[in-house]
Structure 1
Amino acid sequence: RSASLPLTNEPWPVMILIATYLFVVLKAGPEYMANRKPFDLKIVIRVYNIVQVVANGAFFVTIMYLLLQRQNFSLVCQPVDYSTTREGFQELYLSYGYFLLKVLDLADTVFFVLRKKQSHVSFLHVYHHAVMVLMTYLAVVFVPGGHVFML
């Protein structure tokens, strides 16, 4: 069902996105910024943070609303709804929206590099962001719903 959504019909776009992210934040970005002054991104980062807060807040409210209106929701074991019902597609689209939010999260590290805050670009930070994009992609393609839907 997810094959019609951008970035989900085959793995190559996501693999290229992750590889580009790693190359930019670990090699090309620091080299580009080596002899340059840090960019002043205060306004860009404020707008980015507002977008993140609004998007994640709306996402949370929507998920809670959908979960609370379900009659047959189980906290113990909620299976994935692979059907073509309205509820099945709601879970798919919300899973896809979460994936897109994880792609947007990659900008955090790019902002660190452009502001010459390389000490913030730790292995754990980069690993977390790269793996989250990969794992949410896999969730959208293979298990868009169920308990994964709540993560």
Structure 2
Amino acid sequence: MAETFKELERAERDSRWPRAAILDAAHFNADGLMPAIAQQHDSGEVLMMAWMNREALDETLRTGRVCYWSRSRGKLWRKGESSGQQQHLRSASLDCDGDTLLLRVDQTGPACHTGRRSCFYVALEETGARITSDPLIDPDTLYQKP
């Protein structure tokens, strides 16, 4: 664990640290990525998990519009750029190890590419899996190009 995060363990509430120093000490994986969990700021609903690199995180903090790193596209992915279903950042936090982000967001419409509010709609139960929600928007409609 980075020495900076060891220091933060004993830091007093409301103490301030330079953002750049914290992000420099944060742990991005070998691909330069960190998992980011998006949570609806007012309800606490977990919406999705995606990946961020330093550039995506910097853009998100600078603009307030959530930006991820798309591993499949190999480029920055501004949430909602093709669906219109944007995430606006309310707050961002690192976990105690500096290797996972929690983004509290204001999500417009569905967060999931399936048209559902949350990506976490497959409940694993003792005897199988159960779908827990219906799409809010048909995914074929969600991604139609005008």
Superposition TM-score, scaled by structure 2 size: 0.25
More strand by share: 2
Q: Which has the higher contact order (CA 8 A, sep 6+)?
A: 1
More helix by share: 1
Larger Rg: 1
Superposition TM-score, scaled by structure 1 size: 0.24
